[in-house]
Amino acid sequence: MSIVGNSFKRELGKNAGKMVSNMIFGDKHSTPYRRVHSAPPPPPKPSKAQLEHQANLARIEAEKEMQRKMLQEQKRQNKAELELQERIFKEQQEKEQQEYLEKYIVELQASIREALDINTDAPTFEQINYLISVLETKKWANKLDIGTKSLEKNKNRLENELSDIYLLKLKECLEILSDSLGEMKKKYYLDTLQKFEKRKSEGLYGVIGANVGALAKKAFNLLRGSKKEIEEQTKTNASESEEAIESSIFFDLNENNRISDALADIWSKYSDSVATEIINRRPIFSADGVMDSVLYVGINPSYEPGDDDVFLKSDDEKSLLYGSLYQRDDAPDYFKNLEAFSDTLEKGYSHTNLLYARENDRDLLLRTNSDFIREQLELTYETIVKVQPVAIFFFGTICRDLIFGADRWVNPDSEKDGHFILNGTNIPVFFTEDIAFLNDADKDKLAQIARLVL
């Protein structure tokens, strides 16, 4: 055969083989060229306008992010600068205040020395009027809120001491001149002295109360007393100013933060095991005792949302406190009723509660952690021993249930003549409903029993 014929045969055989292969194996053996054309078409390329739009969007977003970071950095710098300026201003203020207090304390010390040097051996009415004019400008700092910094405490202590010295000097002058005073002048000076005594008591104790009646009576006795009696009651050395303060019938139950520190520990210890609505409220306690008094004991303080703005705060600001309302003219009627009963016993009165948590639902309170209740009771027992009352009146059946029992505060076997004895002491105990709400007949009956004990 010719060359052309052979070529035709070879081409025919090759194509026949491809046809058979494709029929058996499909397009798997297709050439790359054919497979490319058989694949789905690629997505269309974005146009130039689309690319430019996307680039603009990316650029705008990048600029926004940069601006946001710049604003954040600017705010941070401004805040840091403001905090720095505030800190510098505060430090400057504190420095100026410290310098002022240091200078003022030196002046107070000098004034105290001058006041102590005032000679009252032969007083004149001019001297008395001078002392009165000075005392008109003086004040006493509250001893329960006397300052949080050492310089402030020192300043307030010295101010109180200076005022005490002037008041003491005025008393000395009036005592010596008492026999030469006419009735009108005696009344005027007595009223003036009473005014300063009241200012001192209210200044020292704030809401605790001023023992104005007793102080006025003492002042009157001094004015009408003999010179011998005056000399026995009055000393002429510098320590008299402190003695004058300590002679008050009130005394500090929270001395050295005894109560407030203990309450802070209790509240911290049980912060996770007592209902939030109870543990998140500051406890409240009585900060003042009255010497030679009967003690009224309630269950727990009630809760009023505004109490935090009304009551004094402890040094750590974790507790609220109140003082004695004994012999205060502005005492609420409830406390006046308590005072009226103690008057029938010829005693003053102190007041406290068994518990310190502020809660109106007492059932809810008593269902809380038993150790939380127990530790409050232990603190109250310590306080009662510190008060050393002549008798204790526990109000209500809940009080009785908490402390009455052979292994508790009051043993039933200690009953005698209508009263019990507080374990570990000789203090008589009475269980009664709240005296302020008893009728007159029940009050008289209770008073008769109590007078037999006292």
Assess whether pLDDT exceeds 90 at residue 295. Answer: yes
Question: What pairing do the DSSP bridges indicate for beta strands 250-252 and 320-322?
Answer: unpaired
- Give the residue with greater pLDDT, 322 vs 178: 322
Report helix, strand or coil for 202.
helix
Determine the average pLDDT of the residues in 35-45: 66
Question: Residue 224: its pLDDT value, please?
Answer: 42
Assess whether pLDDT exceeds 60 at residue 308. Answer: yes
Assess whether pLDDT exceeds 90 at residue 170. Answer: no
Measured between alpha carbons, how far is 429 from 413 in angstroms, rounded to an integer?
13
In the chain, the largest separation of any two C-alpha atoms, in whole Å, equals 173
> Contact at 8 Å (CB) between 377 and 402?
yes
Question: Residue 404: its pLDDT value, please?
Answer: 95
- Give the residue with greater pLDDT, 332 vs 25: 332
Confidence of residue 215 (pLDDT cuts 50, 70, 90): very low
- Give the residue with greater pLDDT, 409 vs 163: 409
Helices (H), 26-124: 32-38, 48-116
Distances (CA, A) of 365 to 22, 260, 275, 322: 92, 20, 9, 21
Of the candidates 230, 102, 251, the residue with the CA atom closest to the CA atom of residue 175 = 230
Assess whether pLDDT exceeds 60 at residue 324. Answer: yes
Question: Residue 294: its pLDDT value, please?
Answer: 97
Report helix, strand or coil for 124.
coil
Q: What is the DSSP letter of 298?
A: E
Q: How many CA atoms lie within 13 A of 260 on its CB side?
A: 20
- Give the residue with greater pLDDT, 61 vs 12: 61
Determine the average pLDDT of the residues in 121-126: 84
Tens-place pLDDT, residues 380-403: 999 999 999 999 999 999 999 999
Assess whether pLDDT exceeds 70 at residue 432. Answer: yes
Confidence of residue 19 (pLDDT cuts 50, 70, 90): low
Tens-place pLDDT, residues 74-85: 888 888 888 888
> Contact at 8 Å (CB) between 429 and 420?
yes
Question: Residue 304: its pLDDT value, please?
Answer: 84
Confidence of residue 163 (pLDDT cuts 50, 70, 90): confident
- Give the residue with greater pLDDT, 207 vs 298: 298
Confidence of residue 266 (pLDDT cuts 50, 70, 90): very high
Q: Which long-range contacts (CB under 8 A, 24 or more apart) does 416-423 make?
A: 417/449, 417/452, 417/453, 418/449, 418/452, 419/391, 419/449, 419/450, 419/453, 422/384, 422/392
Question: Residue 5: its pLDDT value, please?
Answer: 62
DSSP code string of 213-230: HHHHHHHHHHHHS-HHHH
Least confident of 23-37, 51-65, 79-93, 417-431: 23-37
> Contact at 8 Å (CB) between 27 and 35?
yes
Question: Residue 203: its pLDDT value, please?
Answer: 65
Question: Residue 79: its pLDDT value, please?
Answer: 87
Assess whether pLDDT exceeds 60 at residue 437. Answer: yes
> Contact at 8 Å (CB) between 428 and 421?
yes
Question: Residue 243: its pLDDT value, please?
Answer: 44
Assess whether pLDDT exceeds 50 at residue 22. Answer: yes
- Give the residue with greater pLDDT, 202 vs 405: 405
Assess whether pLDDT exceeds 70 at residue 51. Answer: yes
Strand partners, 313: 320
> Contact at 8 Å (CB) between 415 and 314?
no
